[in-house]
Structure 1
Amino acid sequence: MSVRTRRAMIWILGTLLAIACSLAIALLIAIRINGAAVLDRVDRIAGGSREVELLEQARFGPGGTQVLDVYATAATTSEPKPVLLFLHGGGWNSGNPADYGFIGRAFAPEGFVVVTAGYRLHPEGLFPAMLEDTARAIGWTRANIARLGGDPNRIVLAGHSAGAYNVVMSVLDRQWLAREGLGPDAIAGVIGLAGPYDFFPFTSDSARNAFGHVPDGETTQPIRFVRQGAPPMLLLHGDKDTVVRPRNSHALAAELDAAGTSATTRIYPGMDHTDVLVSLASPWRSKRPVLKDMVEFARTVRASVPVQDKIG
């Protein structure tokens, strides 16, 4: 091969690599701008269906966002499967569970029945609407998941960003589950991805919009409701997150530990606010530890009391 030919090949390879890098960067920018809908399409293209089926779509309230989707693979055993109930982020003013099919395709092949749920958003979704709706989604899941192949005693809640706030607050402040006729031990565990748990005084527009009307802002903060006997928690955060600072996970974990409640924190080097969510979609999920950490946690926890019939 001549020197000229080698140089031409190096130039072509370099150009192709530059184009590939540019496309990858453009894709990540598109995900950040357009959110989960783009990420869901990328996952479907890159990873396929993974033999995951949408089993059911349901409403748990009259609002357009009070909806949920249920995913699973074809049953290979008569044993009920553990359940992952996931709530989306979006600053309490955006998000659609229909855009989170990639969550189903991530966890259903790992042996879970997966529920992705929505909740009322701003301006209708002022505090405490998001907690009322989270509790309703939990109540629906407890009442219906057995007929869909799930184990109502092995429900793990998970959420990203605003959704992480919702799931953590809904189990720490016991009034929300109580309104659905559920006891404090109804949930097996909770996973928070990049969640805000100690963010008063409110400095962002999204927080002010959702919580600014509350006379005592401290009463909206999950960290103020830490208690002994709360479900075990796994708190995940990227160390480069500037939207919701990692100190939120550190602070909540410290308070939970002090109260005698199991809390595990994972801080991922180089990841930002979006990266922890992107890590659950193909082609990234096989290259990052987020899914593995969540699956290992969710497989080991179980509610400490038998499921009770919903009251009312």
Structure 2
Amino acid sequence: MPNFHAIPTLIPASFYTTALVIMGLLTSACSPVNILNAVISDKAYRLTSGVAYGDSPRKTLDIYIPANPVSENPELNGKTENTRTVTNKTLPVVVFFYGGSWDSGNRGSYKFIGEAMTSQGFIAVIPDYRVYPEVLFPGFMEDPAKAAKWVKLHAAEFGGDPERVFLAGHSAGAHIAAMLTLDPEFLAKQNSKPQDFAGMIGLAGPYDFLPLKSNRLKTIFGPEDQRSKSQPINFVTGNNPPMLLMVGTKDGTVWPRNTYNLAAKIKAAGGPVEVAEFAGYGHVDMAAKLAKPLRDKCMLDTIAAFIKQH
């Protein structure tokens, strides 16, 4: 994604309508992500940025904590005299891996995800991780596994519940989250296992995407006789944590069959999985529609309900 500067926000965010934001995405030279982030208020969360979970600049993460945590007792919400009661409970944590075709992306571009999760009373953690050409598969799985384990170990320090840590992602990030959830190899190297996590949420994920056509992807995923090891669908045993797979029916980048095929195999194996379809949504929609200017309340509610259930 090009590294353009964001447009100055000259109009208060409250005046932005979905139509105006979409017009900006279509006509501006700026990054669409920067436009989405520019109209999001930072008053709803507290951000701790650049926390190291490893020994290189790409092994850092951002932590978004709700400024006003939501009590599980609706009668207490918004009552300042009950602040101690509202905030003394640990919160679910969502570790979100961004997409970028396994060769790009940065945590700073996903402020809108942090705001979306904190708006529901969840803590969001967004890690950077090494990508191609610095690493190839399976090398690029090392950092996400390490970040996930770091969050489990440190969640309580920033108000999170170590027993309610969820792995999530969009596109390539959903692939990473699914691999961590279904193939125990990567977490095992961190002395952890998929069952240590409360669940997985995938947005527009590639889970069953062979054969490869792109020469770049052929390089990233290595020799043809080894590529089956990169497919989440090949590691289904039915012993996975609960999974929520969200798909846009008009996704022309990652075909919806990736979601349907994986869900069918998990169900056949007796594993817990839910599919949430969003009619007419494309690949980018499945992330952008979580951003406040474009927000699909149903999409965010689906994620929140899954987290609260588990």
Tell me what 2:263 maps to: 253
Asked whether the equivalents of residues 30 and 38 of structure 1 are also in contact (C-alpha less than 8 Å), the reply is no
Counterpart residue type for residue 243 of structure 1 = T
Report how far residue 49 of structure 1 moved. Answer: 2.0
> When the two structures are superposed, what TM-score results if normalisation uses the length of structure 1?
0.83
- Is the alpha carbon distance of 1:22 and 1:261 closer, same or farther for their aligned partners in structure 2, counting shifts above 3 Å? closer
Structure 1's unaligned 5+ residue stretches are: 1-19, 302-312
2:37 to 21, 40, 63: 40
Are 2:305 and 1:296 equivalent residues in the alignment?
A: yes
- Equivalent residue for 1:107, pick from 117, 121, 127: 117
For the 8 Å contact 1:37–1:100, the answer to whether it is kept is: no
1:212-237: per-residue Cα shift (whole Å, max 9, x none)?
34642111110000112101111111
Contact 2:145 2:186 survives alignment (8 Å): yes
Query: What is the aligned partner in structure 1 of residue 210 from structure 2?
Result: 200
Output the CA distance in 1 between the equivalents of 2:268 and 2:236. 9
Contact 2:175–2:205 (8 Å) recurs in 1: yes
| Aligned equivalents of 1:50, 1:234: Cα separation in 2 | 29
Residue type matched to 1:290 in 2?
M
| 2:66 is the counterpart of 1:73 | yes
Contact 1:93 1:206 in 2 (8 A): no
- Residues 174 and 244 of structure 1: is their aligned pair in 2 closer, same or farther, counting only changes over 3 Å? same
Which has the larger Rg? 1
d(CA) in 2 for partners of 1:191, 1:25: 26
Where does the alignment leave 5 or more consecutive residues of structure 2 unmatched? 1-16, 70-85
Shift of 1:31: 8.8
Deviations 1:272-304 (A, max 9, x none): 00001011101222x442111111101111xxx
1:161–1:194 Cα contact (<8 Å) kept: yes
Helix, strand or coil for the counterpart of 1:116?
Answer: strand
1:28-53 deviation line (CA, Å, top 9, x unaligned)? 336998353332223x2xxx224211
Question: Residue deviations 1:189-226, cap 9 Å, x none?
Answer: 00000000001111235522421346421111100001
Quickly say closer, same or farther: Cα 1:239–1:30, change in 2 above 3 A. Answer: farther
Which residue is equivalent to 1:11? none
Q: C-alpha separation between the residues in 2 aligned to 1:189 and 1:214? A: 31
**What is the alpha-carbon distance in structure 2 between the residues aligned to residue 129 and residue 246 of structure 1?**
27
* Residue 56 of structure 1: how far off its partner (Å): 4.7
Counterpart of 1:65, as a letter, is: R
Once superposed, what is the RMSD of the aligned Cα atoms? 2.1
State the partner residue of 1:94: 104
Is 1:27 the equivalent of 2:20?
no
Rounded Cα–Cα distance in structure 2 between residues aligned with 1:134 and 1:214: 24
Q: Give the Cα separation in 1 of the matches to 2:172 and 2:32.
A: 14
How far has the Cα of 1:112 moved from its partner?
0.8
Label 1:35 to 1:90 Cα distance change in 2 as closer, same or farther (>3 A): farther
What is the CA-CA distance between 1:24 and the residue it aligns to? 4.4
Q: Compared with structure 1, are the counterparts of its residues 30 and 188 closer, same or farther at alpha carbon in structure 2 (3 Å cutoff)?
A: farther
**Moved >6 Å (runs of 4+):** 30-33
Give distance in 1, aligned partners of 2:244 and 2:166: 10
Of the candidates 114, 118, 122, which is equivalent to residue 128 of structure 2? 118
- Secondary structure of 2:96's counterpart equals strand
Match of 1:53 among 41, 46, 49: 46
Identical-pair percentage: 39
SS at match of 2:260: helix
2:287 aligned partner: 277
In structure 2, how many angstroms separate the alpha carbons of the residues matched to 1:151 and 1:230?
A: 20
Aligned length: 277
Provide closer, same or farther for how the CA distance between residues 297 and 278 of structure 1 changes in structure 2, counting only shifts above 3 A. same
Q: CA deviation at 1:128?
A: 1.2
SS state at 2:118 partner: helix
The amino acid of 1:49's aligned partner reads D
TM-score normalized by the length of structure 2: 0.84
Shift of 1:21: 9.2
Q: In the TM superposition, what is the alpha-carbon distance from 1:25 to its structure 2 partner?
A: 4.1
Q: Could you tell me whether the CA contact under 8 Å between 2:21 and 2:293 is conserved in 1? A: no
Distance 1:37 1:258, change over 3 A: same
Q: 1:35 to 1:24 in 2, by over 3 A?
A: closer
